[in-house]
Amino acid sequence: MIQGTASHVGKSVLVAALCRIFHRQGLRVTPFKAQNMALNSFITQEGGEIGRAQAFQARAAGVVPSVDMNPILLKPSSDTGAQVIINGKVHANMNAKAYHAFKPHLRGTVQESLNRLKKRYDIILMEGAGSPAEINLKENDLVNMGAARMAGAPVLLTGDIDRGGVFAALYGTVALLDKEERPYLKGMIINKFRGDVSLLTPGLSMIEDKTSLPVMGVIPYFHDLYLPEEDSVGLKNTQGPSGAAIKIGVVRLPHISNFTDFDVLAMEPDVSLIYINSGKDLQQFDAVILPGSKNTLTDLTYIRQRHLTDSLIKFAGDGGTVAGLCGGYQILGRVIHDPGHVESKLEEVAGLGLLDVTTTLHPRKTTTLDEARFFDRAKAFPLTGYEIHMGVTEHGADASPLFEITSRNGTPCKVRDGASNSSGRIWGTYLHGIFDNDAFRHDFLNTLRQAKGLPPLSGTGIFYEQKLEESLDRLSETVSNALDMEAIMNIIDRGIM
């Protein structure tokens, strides 16, 4: 198990690297995170919702993602509340206090997922959350030492030296562990180091002496690796090269979800992706995208307060391209109804009115892995994506369907999705992951290039799957060289003895 001194110290990426290392050795390996709190999620082949990080780790391991890899997913909908997803399906909305009281009922769920994975894999690589030293949350813990005890898993503790204070963080975490937890801890890893590792030698010796634990390796800071972020803590405001030919703005909503939809755009060599939270200077962009949201009505109110509404309408009226994904698609419409108060106490909120569609929120959540194609058969390339939404959107007379979904969770269907206006410059869809399709992304970017009088990409754009695999291989090689893998294998073999 990989635990950390805090959030965003690199646990998810380290688990992905180890998944790829062991996979390349011919072992059957799977990731596991008992409880994940994240707004970036993924849909499995069963139609279940799990954290996006576990899906990425499964890819690194060469296995198909399943709900057992992340049996509990919390999707924050406010500062104190979250949607609780168990075994891939929505269970309830709870505030923090209610969920903390509910956690003892979930131990069986976590144990059952672990038991199923143990039957299918040689190695389970577990990931903790936050820190195991959150002493106010230790009671009923399911994801750190609580999960390690359930699995009988030895633990490696990771600290982020790039933040500063890594030795204090490692020492303090070890010191705050209970005597029953301490035997599970077998070593430490220092992550995100820049510079000459020999300069760390005195510190490494001292922390080993003070904790009686070995440092298993020092992992360098990664540059130019295209790896998805788990949550908005790691979201950079600007991505891609400065001075790029194409500038795309993404509205940074307070409850932004699945912003990994746009990672691949930032990988393109001629695209600069900028997250925005006001309506200033929209004219600098070739396109503005409204992302997914876990609380669409609240976020729609937010963009009005930030004076984005009028700016977006003017930008669209001046010929700019505006796209919306999932919640962003709903925001582009005329109105969003919430008669059952699925998201808030509001009954309805007027949208931007840029698309002639109307959305009604429903308690039942759509979670599907999709195959699709353009509704206009002139563009024949196939598409894949996934849906995660709690609304049904109806078209008006001035909106045309954008896609036809041909398969949901492996079952053939014919379902209209998305909408566009008559010019095609304003469009929206429920499909997440749409830009991961190389043909669609290149077509989208070439349309923007054409509007500026620029030549098409003509084969110079990146290919997403290839880029991701190259990044995973580079990641695993770097981590393998930095860690004492022989010692780690010995720890796995010995367990907690």
C-beta of residue 428 within 8 angstroms of C-beta of residue 355: yes
- Distance from C-alpha of 342 to C-alpha of 216, rounded to nearest angstrom: 47
The torsion defined by the Cα of 11, 16, 21 and 23, in degrees rounded to 10, comes to: 140
- Distance from C-alpha of 114 to C-alpha of 85, rounded to nearest angstrom: 17
Among residues 287, 265, 309, 7, which one has the least CA distance to residue 160?
Answer: 7
Q: Which residue has the tokens 């079952």?
A: 411
Token couple for 182: 């301490």
- Distance from C-alpha of 38 to C-alpha of 76, rounded to nearest angstrom: 7
The pair phi, psi for residue 452, each rounded to 5°, is -100, 5
Among residues 134, 141, 113, which one has the least CA distance to residue 176?
Answer: 134
Phi/psi class of residue 243: alpha, beta or left (left: φ > 0; alpha: ψ in -120 to 50)? left
C-beta of residue 182 within 8 angstroms of C-beta of residue 1: no
Could you tell me where the DSSP H helices lie in 212-352? 263-267, 296-305, 308-317, 327-332
- Distance from C-alpha of 458 to C-alpha of 465, rounded to nearest angstrom: 18
- Distance from C-alpha of 454 to C-alpha of 446, rounded to nearest angstrom: 8
The pair phi, psi for residue 319, each rounded to 5°, is 100, 5
What amino acid positions are annotated as catalytic residues? Answer: 326, 432
Q: Which residue has the tokens 């808030």?
A: 344
Q: 450: Cβ–Cβ under 8 A, 6 or more apart, which residues?
A: 456
Half-sphere exposure of 368 (CA within 13 A, CB side): 23
C-beta of residue 100 within 8 angstroms of C-beta of residue 80: no
Helix then strand then coil, in percent of the chain rounded to 5, is 35, 30, 35
Distance of CA 280 to the CA centre of its chain: 28
C-beta of residue 80 within 8 angstroms of C-beta of residue 405: no
C-beta of residue 92 within 8 angstroms of C-beta of residue 84: yes
The pair phi, psi for residue 445, each rounded to 5°, is -70, -35
C-beta of residue 138 within 8 angstroms of C-beta of residue 181: no
The pair phi, psi for residue 189, each rounded to 5°, is -130, 135
